[in-house]
Structure 1
Amino acid sequence: MIARIALALGAVVSVLLSSGVARAQEAPPANDMLLATLWTQRAVEYKGNALTVFALARIRLDEALADKSWTASPAEQKADYQNLPPAVILDIDETVLDNSRYQVWMLKNNQSFSTKTWNRFCAAQASTAIPGALEFTKYADTKGVKVFYITNRGAETEQDTRQNMAKLGFPMGGNVDTFLMQGEKPEWSGAKGTRRAVVTKDYRVLLNIGDNFGDFDDRYRTSEADRAKAFESDMAYWGRQWLMIANPTYGSFDTAPFGHDFKKPRQQQRKAKWDVLESWVGPTP
């Protein structure tokens, strides 16, 4: 009798173990963000790209300091700006702060972005510095250049954002409020022109650094065709006054194919992206 019970228990344990192994060996679900998130969090190529941009930023900063006519805010900078004190404007997310841990959390939990979970991530102060960002902002600060951060993080996250960045060692602005958050004032929407205008009232903006077209131009939430036209009209500024950090994980590029309409089901959003891609015809017979 005891032998039979032991044999039965052994069989049950064997089944449980084998089913657990099978589940462990199951492939994770497909997710559109996997490759881009892997690249931004793990690839040395990404780190090299970011370091290259911020190395160029130092060169451009020195050029701009020597050229009083230089401005990175052509639409907002008013006349007689040449003798204003210098400043630079940087976006925060994926420009100076790496939030890939939030992206990974969404991947592993099959979640999409929500303000609720994003604000909790901000409160955790788990973001790290983008390679080269801290060194560049410190360099600008030593040159007497005021470092402003214009971000679409909500105003409710400002304290957590400040604390996160202070711990990492970013310049905090001293007695000047250098953190301009979305919604901090009624007119401060996702488009950043109104906030750039606040900076240009008192400063000559030397550089603008971001990861999304909207960090530079308020025409970012338009069609792909109109975005391309706007980009072309800004051509003189790219690589000079405006420097772009690569971010393949999210942004207005990702939503332009489906008209930035987040109410559309995911399948429709994905189909819209497929439909705009241009393919090779394939090998000829």
Structure 2
Amino acid sequence: MLRSPLLLTFWASACLLVAGPVAAQDTPATAPAAAQTAPNDLLNAALWMQRSVEFKANALAVYALGRIRLDEALADKSASALDQTGAADMPPAVILDLDETVMDNSAYESGLVTSGTDYSSKTWAAWVAAKQAKAIPGSLDYIRYADSKGVKIFYVTNRKADEEAATRANLEALGYPMGGNVDTFLTRDEKPEWKSDKTTRRDFIAKDYRVVAMFGDNFNDFTDKAAGTTEERETAFEALQAHFATDWFMLANPTYGSWESTTFGDDFKLSNDEKRALKVKALQPWTPSP
């Protein structure tokens, strides 16, 4: 259960009155109290990813199921996560998104909460350069298993091309296989046609490989039907849902994604209060009778 920020502030103040001033070198580097207690929609999501066993159990379950389905797909030459035709004789491959699918960036998100700031390309670039992302539970074991079976591992990420070197170094330090003499690391803007929509990169892989599984944390990691209204996304999901838990595997990411931005029309120029109001409006609440 979360404790009230006001109670925490009162407790901290009382401790200072009793103990007296703390030496500067003994003071932890924390954000101002006002920043820590300011409303931030990331709080529960970042806390869940960093501190809950539920997050770990969820991720482990997704990758454990993926391993079972991988063995089935390798035994069935007709199986394809992209509904390919004529791919039976192609070597098998798996496509994985990186952020919140393979790489855990919850420390960055938590930093936004405690500093009272919002995402920016500047702080994100600094986070990538720091190479401190951790492994999503289960991902390393799955990828190593797939690699041991002769499956080519492709990382299809919307990290930008100029962030590739730092990202590779982060992954290599965690022990992830990087593909040998084949470029298996496909970043945004690496080629002119490789934009945020990952369709062109999935098609690029599918020319030479039978894609037997895909992993992501966002609907657009699997399909170009992720854009549109909430209702349009629901319709697309209903048409594609047979893939999920068969050859498409979704990791839980409550911190950000197209599910959130859809509620405020993908208008990132809106203030946080305006976005929050539209998100509340998108809810389908139950309220008790008077």
> TM-score scaled by structure 1?
0.89
1:237 maps to: 243
2:179 maps to: 173
1:188 maps to: 194
* Aligned: 1:55 with 2:82: no
Distance 2:227 2:121 in 1: 19
- 2:116 is aligned with what amino acid? N
CA contact (8 A) 2:69 2:247 kept: yes
CA contact (8 A) 2:216 2:251 kept: yes
1:114 maps to: 120
CA contact (8 A) 2:32 2:115 kept: no
Distance 1:219 1:96 in 2: 23
Map 1:23-38 onto structure 2 (within 5 A): 28-38=37-47
31 and 86 in structure 1: CA distance in 2 versus 1, 3 angstrom threshold: same
Shift of 1:281: 2.4
Show structure 1 runs of 4+ deviating over 4 A. Answer: 23-27
Distance 2:63 2:57 in 1: 10
Shift of 1:221: 2.4
Shift of 1:219: 1.9
Aligned residues, how many? 265
- 2:158 is aligned with what amino acid? N
Select which of 201, 213, 218 maps to 1:212.
218
Shift of 1:102: 0.4
Map Cα deviations across residues 144-195 of structure 1 (whole Å, 9 max, x no partner): 0000000011111000011100010001000001000011111111110000
Distance 2:32 2:51 in 1: 23
Q: Percent identity of the aligned residues? A: 50
CA contact (8 A) 2:49 2:55 kept: yes
- 1:68 is aligned with what amino acid? K
1:64 maps to: 73
266 and 138 in structure 1: CA distance in 2 versus 1, 3 angstrom threshold: same
- 2:262 is aligned with what amino acid? A
> TM-score scaled by structure 2?
0.87
* Aligned: 1:46 with 2:52: no
Map Cα deviations across residues 89-136 of structure 1 (whole Å, 9 max, x no partner): 000000011001100111111111111211111110000100000000
CA contact (8 A) 2:97 2:221 kept: yes
Map Cα deviations across residues 67-87 of structure 1 (whole Å, 9 max, x no partner): 11111113xx3x311110000
Map 1:220-235 onto structure 2 (within 5 A): 220-235=226-241
CA contact (8 A) 1:91 1:150 kept: yes
SS at match of 2:228: coil
- 1:58 is aligned with what amino acid? R
Shift of 1:261: 0.9
Distance 2:203 2:241 in 1: 21
Q: Which structure is larger by alpha-carbon Rg, 1 or 2?
A: 1
1:277 maps to: 283
Distance 1:25 1:129 in 2: 31
